[in-house]
Amino acid sequence: MKTSEKSPHYPLGFRRSLAPLVSAIALQSACGTSPGSDQGSVGGAAPSAGGTTPTAGGSGGMLASGGTPSGGVGGSSQSGGASAGGSLSSGGALSGGSGGVASGGSEGSVGGAGTGGSVASTCVPDGKAHNPLVTQIFTADPNAIVYGDRIYVYTSHDEDNQEGFDMVDYHAFSSDDMVNWQDHGVLIHANQLSWAQNLYAPGACSKNGKYYIYIPNSGSAIGVGVSDDPGGPFEDPLGRALITPSFPNANVPWLFDPACFIDDDGQAYLYFGGGNSGANARAVRLNDDMVSIKDSSATTIPTTAFFEASFMHKREGKYYFSYSSDFSNGHGAALEYLMSDSPMSGFEYKGAFVPNAQINNGNNNHGSIIEFQGKSYVFYHNRKLEQELGVDKVNNRSVALQELTYKADGTINTVTMSQDDHTVSQLKCLDGFLEVQAERLAEEQGIEVEGKAGETIRIAQISNNDWVAYSQVDFHDGATKLVAKVASSSAGGTIDIVVDGCIGGAAGTSIGTCAVVSTGGAQQFAELQCPIESTAGGHDLCLRFGDSPSFQLDSWHLE
Ligand code: FUB
């Protein structure tokens, strides 16, 4: 990606607030912890974990600046997935590898990828999800679904500076804590689909161990992608669309916005459609194979002011069909809903539950609702990021997340679209002793996430003062090292390891700075050993880059 096409960053004001700190960091030694760090200062910030026991005052420096790789074992190339990386230990030499994911799979998907053992945790998270959820790209049309112990949010990907809706690929973001969201890269691209040019709002489902995304070709047809992993990559099993306007009763103005729903008895449904008036919502039952239709014609779901963005969820035996409303009297791209006792008929209109707002420029909206670990959440998109960036269009959207509650009778309490920078509470700490994909982040500045699902997804296009931050990382009863899996064809650049900083613009405290050496290739990932001041408990962790970084970052863990 050319610099001019670089994805959205935080507004300038945000950058400026970091400037003085970044200059100070440049004075630190290239390797090891900051000279003069205050012993115990980090420990003071650690919640009830016995504080920090700093190691010998700011020493360390295991990694010799300018070290060169030797051995050449275990490095991974970008294509064919991330394999075990080599390790850059003292003096910058490559040694044995660890971690990584199997070729073809998704990094850190259901089941996770991890190294290292865990010890007792006292971390109590106090993080909040960023609004919008993702800033490295523009995202829209969130279709959230719970798979195992993680939420996956499948999104359209608004291209930077797009004039219309020119989207050509999908991303998924997954989390088990609501605040750190892993970018699974490009799941599928329009150039893989002979029948599609523009990929609009996706719908997701899983059955019989397979994961499906239903794919609209703008407003003209719906196809399907399948994968063995919720994080992709997805393939097109049919080589054609699944639903076209010739399917009986499917010829609506916009044949798009598929939402997949599987009932408790295993029957799968697809809801779709769009166009002004309440007559354009449709539903069909899918066969068990999930790639063919059981019904001989689509069923109309009568709605009030239906526009687009069908979604179905079930709660306590009631079916909720939600959608984005048209611009007729008193509506205007609000998220509205119907309720019923059955999935395809008998719906009663209940009204709007997310009124549209200025933060969305009064333009289109698209939502989904899930229940996760005892709470309900609504995902939708807004225009907050493009407003902050001064892009001032309507086509660069960003996904947001808020909690949703119900009344005793099952109707939904109104959710006011949040203007805040942070919304829902973090559910658990991020275990730093397990391998953490670098793109499983809470907030960032300046970086890009690159890669296709099934390959090495990584932090890339890193410039001076860029950073990536993780909310409420569990350092357990003490970590003394951060091991970062990096790739670089030359020596250059530093990673400053900061606790209790970067999220929300906080300065934080540096607990170590690591110089990156050559790993033998721009896509040759190897482990860089970065000593840190011994740090315990729960902390926001920020990796701040400097000194002309020319590397990419795949993952990290604490030891
Ligand atoms: O993202 C393109 C279209 O905009 C979606 O298909 C609609 O739901 C609206 O969000």
Substitution candidate for ligand 1 out of 163, 166, 200, 323 with most atoms within 8 A of CB: 200
Contact 470, 540 (CB under 8 A): yes
User: Separation of 141 CA from ligand 1 center, angstroms?
Assistant: 6
Tokens of 216: 């609209």
User: Separation of 161 CA from ligand 1 center, angstroms?
Assistant: 17
Residues 485-525: tens digit of each pLDDT: 999 999 999 999 999 999 988 999 999 999 999 999 999 99
User: Separation of 219 CA from ligand 1 center, angstroms?
Assistant: 9
Q: How much of the chain, in percent, has pLDDT values that exceed 70?
A: 78
Burial of residue 31, with CB atoms counted within 10 A of its CB: 0-12 exposed, 13-18 middle, 19 or more buried? buried
Burial of residue 36, with CB atoms counted within 10 A of its CB: 0-12 exposed, 13-18 middle, 19 or more buried? exposed
User: Separation of 442 CA from ligand 1 center, angstroms?
Assistant: 25
* Average pLDDT in the chain: 83
Q: Where are the beta strands (DSSP E) in 42-98?
A: 85-88, 94-98
The residue among 32 and 383 whose pLDDT is bigger is 383
Residues 321-350: tens digit of each pLDDT: 999 999 998 899 999 999 999 999 999 999
CA 292 to chain centre: 30
Burial of residue 2, with CB atoms counted within 10 A of its CB: 0-12 exposed, 13-18 middle, 19 or more buried? exposed
Residue 371 pLDDT greater than 70, yes or no: yes
**Residue 284 amino acid letter:** V
Q: What are the helix and strand counts (H, E) for the chain?
A: 4, 35
How many Cα atoms sit within 13 Å of 174 on the Cβ side? Answer: 25
Residues with CB under 6 A from ligand 1: 140-141, 156, 165, 200-201, 256-257, 308-309, 364, 366
The residue among 17 and 108 whose pLDDT is bigger is 108
Q: Where are the beta strands (DSSP E) in 281-344?
A: 282-286, 299-300, 306-315, 318-325, 335-340
Residues 26-69: tens digit of each pLDDT: 222 233 333 222 222 222 222 222 222 222 222 222 222 223 22
Tokens of 369: 């609702």
Lowest mean pLDDT across 10-19, 138-147, 150-159, 169-178: 10-19
In order of their start, the domains of the chain are 3-43+77-110+442-558 (2.60.120.260), 130-425 (2.115.10.20)
Query: Taking every pair of C-alpha atoms in the chain, what is the biggest distance, in angstroms?
Result: 75
CA distance 334 to 140: 15
CA distance 533 to 40: 9
Q: How much of the chain, in percent, has pLDDT values that exceed 90?
A: 75
**Residue 528 amino acid letter:** L
Handedness of CA 154, 159, 163, 168 (dihedral sign): negative
Interval 138-162 mean pLDDT: 96
Q: What is the pTM of this model?
A: 0.84
Tell me what pLDDT residue 392 has.
66
308 is catalytic: yes
Ligand 1, atom 5, residue with closest C-alpha:
201
The residue among 42 and 239 whose pLDDT is bigger is 239
Rg (CA), the chain: 24
Residues 6+ apart with CB under 8 A from 448: 1, 6, 7, 136, 459, 460, 461
